[in-house]
Chain A
Amino acid sequence: MSTDQSMNTQQGNPLAVVVSGLSSDAHTWNLVYMQLVLEELGHTVTNLGACVAEEELAARCRTIQPDLIVLSSVNGHGFQDGLRAITALRECPELMTTPAVIGGKLDIVGGDPTMIGQLLDAGFDGVFTEPQALSAFRSFVAFVSDATVETGAGAGEPSAADVRPGPATVTSPVGA
């Protein structure tokens, strides 16, 4: 997967994106929708589907080495499940700085003011829960895409705008 390839740089760069549900959530229409949104933006998506335990999520992301990880949940358990997922991802050296975001309907009451802060503190680079969040999400993806330039390693800071560090430059599946 980590194959260098020539990029169309007119609108940022095509990203290899992992879309995934969380451990306790069987919903999939949200995941299908996010895949279509990202593909329409020119990115390549590996959709892991529903009920992905954090160990499996981390293992698949270590293999795929995505440029961006997008987690989506709508069953109200996304806050708890999401904390476990990001912790598992950030414990992998390869995934410490990979941009990772979460969105959807993440709690049952829809009003915990500390939730977003806790998710960001745990390692997410973006949390999207508002009805108008899709516009913010698109903007975030464009930011990552623009920043994922054709140079080598990023600075290694855990910032959303960083290219993940490592020998590969921009990656997307061969033939994408």
Chain B
Amino acid sequence: MPASSSTSVGLSGSFGGLVARRQAEGTLVVQPRMGFADPAKMRAGLIAAKHARACTVGTITLDSYTRMGDHASVLAALDRGDELNGYPIVGHGVATTRSVTHGVAERDFPIQVRHGSADPRSIVTALLAVGLDATEGGPVSYCLPYSRTPLARSVEHWQESCELLAAARTQDREPHLETFGGCMMGQLCPPALLVALSVLEGLFFVQHGLRSISLSYAQQTSAEQDTEAVTALRRLTAELLPDVQSHIVIYSYMGVYPCTPAGARRLLAESVRLAVATGAARLIVKTSAEAFRIPTIEENVLALEEAALVASAARDAPAPWGMSAAPGTATGTGGTGIYAQALALISAVLDLADDVGRALLLAFSRGYLDVPYCLHPDNAGRSRGYLDSAGRLQWQRIGSMPIRHLAEVPAQTRMTSAGLLDSLSFVQNKFDHAGLARSIGS
């Protein structure tokens, strides 16, 4: 990564360039999830994020009608004055969106458009038209969990979208694309597969013209295991994507969130420390309102400022679990083998075809990639993850994934409905109950 980050030439005005500059300064970039249908409120949210006491970038999260490409429903809702769960960038049109970002988006405050679509072509066209050039997703990560779109169609749509983004490159404009592959399903996907999907989608982006990308990883259930995973992701990025500008982005936990404010803050803080300890450049935060509803602008600002404070403290202190990186991950020989499993998955996929998109399709049809608990028709659905007694995500079944020689799979366990509920609420309980124990003890 250090080598790849230094290749920015004339990119300082773009998303990836800004993040690289902040990383060089030793500052973690923090970013909200935020989207409002009302243009004035959307602008207010961006301005609040910009002026938060933290090093921030902006977010425009789109609504689910726009995600599905159902722009007629957007227009009908706007006509009726109905609430939408995000900003409809296609429906609002260029002039309105320009009035939202004008004077807010600038060199030191780039804005990323976040959507969740398996067909983002109209979204990419809309964001480029207003002068934005950063977005996120991926042909696998925005198809399998949230849609019924056939994977082959998603790959085509994403190839076109990458080409649209890449074609907008100018001397001082470098479009940026982040893979959501490291966040698949939010929870219960063992880290090696998250790392592999993140890298594979990054390779897909680069094959279709992107030169500035970020690779994601969502905080899971064990800080130590997450540290090993992100270290593996950084190493694989440096090895397989050496010629593009890239950085790592961490997502605060995406599963069932703690109910108590203190539990939510502790979980956020742990994700910040993960980002700092692993040399990630950017963090997508969650708020203490997350378990109940869509957070307000103010709650987002509080989360951003809290994350910045924890990051600043963590920079000067060793990681709380006593290691700055998991043992052996630098060489790939130790740890729990996340690097080796991820590399085996990536290699097996890339061996299937020179074209990354085609390789991904073949890999899913053969079950070489098989996302646990994912019900999409193009996912084999033969793998399972589970939480071991130490709170680490492990494989329970690997289906046809080519990691049999690398993964320990228990002989006779199976996921029960009660076990699934326990696993899904493990993090919520752990962080909420830590507060309970403290208040009882005090």
Contact = CB atoms under 8 A, between A and B. Distances in A.
A170 B199 CA distance: 48
Interface in B401-417: 415-417
Contacts of B260: none
B343 interface: no
Interface residues of A, number: 17
Given A49-B148, A51-B148, A40 B416 contact: yes
Interface in A47-72: 47-52, 56
Contacts of A33: 417, 420-421
A1 interface: no
Given A49-B375, A49-B377, A26 B147 contact: yes
Given A33-B420, A37-B417, A52 B148 contact: yes
Given A26-B145, A26-B147, A28-B145, A49 B376 contact: yes
Contacts of B377: 49
Contacts of A51: 146-148
A29 B420 CA distance: 9
B376 A36 contact: no
Interface in A1-46: 24, 26, 28-29, 31-33, 36-37, 40
Contacts of B375: 28, 31-32, 47-50
A29 B254 CA distance: 13
Given A50-B146, A50-B148, A51-B148, A29 B373 contact: yes
A52 B377 CA distance: 12
Contacts of B417: 33, 36-37, 40
Interface residues of B, number: 16
A29 B375 CA distance: 10
Contacts of B424: 29
Contacts of B421: 33
A32 to B, nearest CB: 5
Contacts of B147: 26, 51
Nearest to B85: A75
Contact of B420 (A26, A32, A48, A52): A32
B374 interface: yes
Interface string B382-421: 0000000000000000000000000000000001110011
A50 B374 CA distance: 10
A51 to B, nearest CB: 5
A28 B377 CA distance: 13
A8 B141 CA distance: 42
Which of B147, B148, B376, B416: most chain A CB closer than 10 A? B148
Contacts of B64: 24, 26
B397 to A, nearest CB: 14
Nearest to B65: A24
A47 B376 CA distance: 10
Contact of B373 (A24, A32, A48): A32
Contacts of B146: 26, 50-51
A49 B148 CA distance: 8
A93 to B, nearest CB: 26
Contacts of A26: 64, 145-147
Nearest to B186: A29
A36 B416 contact: yes
A49 B146 CA distance: 10
Interface string B156-192: 0000000000000000000000000000000000000
A36 B415 contact: yes
A29 B374 CA distance: 9
Contacts of A37: 417
A52 B64 CA distance: 15
Contacts of A56: 148
A51 B116 CA distance: 14
A23 B415 CA distance: 27
Which of B145, B375, B376, B420: most chain A CB closer than 10 A? B375
A24 B415 CA distance: 28
Interface string B408-442: 00000001110011001000000000000000000
A143 B127 CA distance: 54
A33 B374 CA distance: 12
A33 B147 CA distance: 19
Contacts of A36: 415-417, 420
B183 to A, nearest CB: 14
Nearest to A38: B417
Interface of A: 24, 26, 28-29, 31-33, 36-37, 40, 47-52, 56
Given A32-B373, A36-B416, 13 more contacts: A24-B64, A26-B64, A28-B145, A29-B424, A32-B375, A32-B420, A33-B420, A33-B421, A48-B375, A49-B377, A50-B148, A52-B148, A56-B148
Closest 6 CB pairs of A and B: A49-B375, A36-B417, A37-B417, A26-B146, A32-B373, A51-B148
18 contacts: A26-B64, A26-B145, A26-B147, A28-B145, A28-B373, A28-B375, A29-B420, A32-B373, A32-B420, A33-B417, A33-B421, A36-B415, A36-B417, A40-B416, A49-B148, A49-B375, A51-B146, A52-B148
